[in-house]
Chains A and B, each alone.
Chain A
Amino acid sequence: MTSHAGAAPSASDPDLVAAVADGDEQAVAEVYRRYSGAVWAVAQRVCGDRASAEDVCQTVFVDLWRRPERFDPQRGKLRSWLVAQAHARAVDVVRSETARQRRQERAARLAPTPPPSGDVEAASLLASLADHVRRALDRLAADDRDAIVLAYFGGHSYRETAALLGAPEGTVKSRIRRGLEGLRRTLEAEGVTL
C-alpha cells in the first residue's frame, strides 16, 4: 500500500481523492477522519439503529475506495457528496422490505395505539437532533420544517410525507423546496460556507 503527499492532513479534498484513486490507504483514512462524523450522523439519524448505520458508513467509505472517480470535485464538496451517498443508502435501508416488516410488527405489538401523526414523528425526530441543527431548522416555518425533517431524517418519500402530514402532495413539494431554500439562507447567514 502506497502513501504519499496526497494523504497528508493538509491535502485538499480533491488531492485526497486522487490519492485514493492511486491506491493510498492513508488517503482513505484521512477522508474518514475528516468526514466520518457527518456520514455517521446522517446514517444513524435515518436508519435509527446502530447496526444498519454502521453498515451504511462502511459501505460509503469502501465504495469511495472502490470507485473514487465517482466523486466529481467540479460538482460539489467531498463532505456533502459523502453525506448524500450515506443518506441515499440509509433511505434504502429504511425503505427495504425487511424494515417495513419490522415496523409493521412493531406497530402490531403496540396496537391499539394509533400510529403517530406526521407532526408527532417530526417533533420526535427534531428532538433527537443536535441543538445547532434544531436552531437552524426552527427558523423555518413549521410546515416547511416538518416536511424536510420527515423526508430527510425520517427517510420518507414526499408522498409518504404528504400522507403523514395530511397535506396535498403538491403542497408538500413546495414546502420542501421553500424550506431547503430557507435553510440555505439561514446557514449562509450563520457563516456556513455553501
Chain B
Amino acid sequence: MNPVTGRPRRDWHPLDDLALYALDALAGEAAEEVEVHLEVCALCRLELAAHEEALGALVEDGPPPGLWDAVRSQIRADEVAPINGTALHPVGSNLAHLDQSARRRGVRRRLALLAAAAAVVAVVGVGVGTRLANDPDGSGTLAGVSIDGPTVAMLADTHGANVARVVANDDGDVLVLEKLPPLAARREYQLWSVDGARPVSLGVLGDGHDEALPVNLPASTAKLAISEEPEGGSIAPTGPVVASGMVVRPA
C-alpha cells in the first residue's frame, strides 16, 4: 500500500506473501493485502497462476467410486422452481461456513466477474451495470417517455399481481414499472432474459421508482424476469425474483 495515496502499489510485488497465499497459508489482513494487490498487478496474477500450476501438478489420484453420483445428484437437486418454464440456477449456497475458501474465492470472483461482465456486454449489447434509460445524470428517470404502444409483456409478482409491463412503441420498447416494492439501501432491480438455461442480464433498473425505461429487448427474448440485486447489478441473479412474464408480440 502506498503510504501517501493509500492505493495499492504497482511497483512492489509481495512475492513471499504470494507464495504463502498460493498455499492457503496466509490469513487475515496479510491475505487481504495480497488480494488487493492482485486486483491491480497482472505480474503477480501470473506468478500466482504459475505457483498454482506447480502445486496442482503434485496431486493426482483416482476418486472414489460413487463420488460422481453424489455430485450429479446435487446438481440435479439444485434446479429450482422454474420461472415461466425456465429453470434459474440459484447462486449463493450453503457453503458460507467455509471462511478461508470464501475469502480466497472472493478476489477470484471479482476478477472473473470483470471478464464475464465484459463478455455478456459483447454478446447482448447490454449487461451488468448497464443502466436502462439514457439519462445522463444516472437517476434512471426519463420524463416524457410515451407508453401508448401495445403491451407485449406483463410481469407479475409471486402473488400474481401485475407490477411491470413492456409496451412496444414505434421507436422501441419501454419497460413500465408500476408497483415494484421499495428496496433497501444499495440494492436495485435488474432485468433478465430467462429464455436459455442461464439468465442473461438486460440491464439494471434502479430502485424501481422510475416509471418508464426504454429497453432494447433482443428479438429472441420471450421470457423476462426482474430480480433484486446489489447496487450495480449481478452477473447472474442473486436476489429474489420479484416479477416475471412472457413477451408476446403481435404477429
Contact = CB atoms under 8 A, between A and B. Distances in A.
A44 B93 CA distance: 23
Q: Would you call the interface of chain B mostly helix, strand, loop, or mixed?
A: helix
A72 B197 contact: no
A161 B25 CA distance: 9
Interface stretch (A25-33, A100-108, A111-119): A25-33
B71 A38 contact: no
Nearest to A62: B74
A95 B236 contact: no
A84 B76 CA distance: 25
Contacts of A71: 112
B30 to A, nearest CB: 9
A29 B23 contact: no
Contacts of A59: 95, 98
Nearest to A32: B68
Contacts of A62: 71, 74-75, 78, 93
Contacts of A152: 23-25, 55, 58
Contact of B60 (A58, A130, A173, A180): A130
Interface residues of A, number: 74
Nearest to A33: B68
Given A91-B24, A177-B16, A41 B235 contact: no
A54 interface: yes
B184 interface: no
A80 B100 contact: no
A79 B54 CA distance: 11
Interface string A169-194: 00001101100110110010000101
B218 interface: no
Given A36-B68, A65-B78, A80-B49, A176 B56 contact: no
Contacts of B76: 25
B196 interface: yes
Interface residues on B, range: 35 or more
B95 A72 contact: no
Task: Kindly name the residue among B22, B63, B76, B113 whose own CB sees the greatest number of chain A CB atoms within 10 A.
Answer: B63
B101 A70 contact: no
A68 to B, nearest CB: 9
Interface string A9-45: 0000000000001111100110010001111111011
10 contacts: A32-B71, A40-B67, A44-B61, A54-B70, A80-B49, A83-B55, A84-B22, A91-B100, A92-B101, A130-B60
Interface of B: 15-20, 22-27, 45, 48-64, 67-68, 70-72, 74-76, 78, 87, 89-91, 93, 95, 97-101, 104-105, 108-109, 111-113, 115-116, 196-198, 235-236
Interface of A: 2, 21-25, 28-29, 32, 36-42, 44-45, 50, 54, 57-59, 61-63, 65-67, 69-72, 74-77, 79-81, 83-85, 87-89, 91-93, 95, 129-130, 133, 136-137, 148, 151-152, 155-158, 161, 173-174, 176-177, 180-181, 183-184, 187, 192, 194
Given A177-B15, A177-B18, A194-B50, 18 more contacts: A23-B87, A24-B197, A32-B68, A40-B62, A42-B59, A58-B74, A69-B113, A75-B112, A76-B53, A83-B56, A88-B98, A88-B105, A89-B101, A130-B60, A130-B61, A151-B24, A184-B50, A194-B54
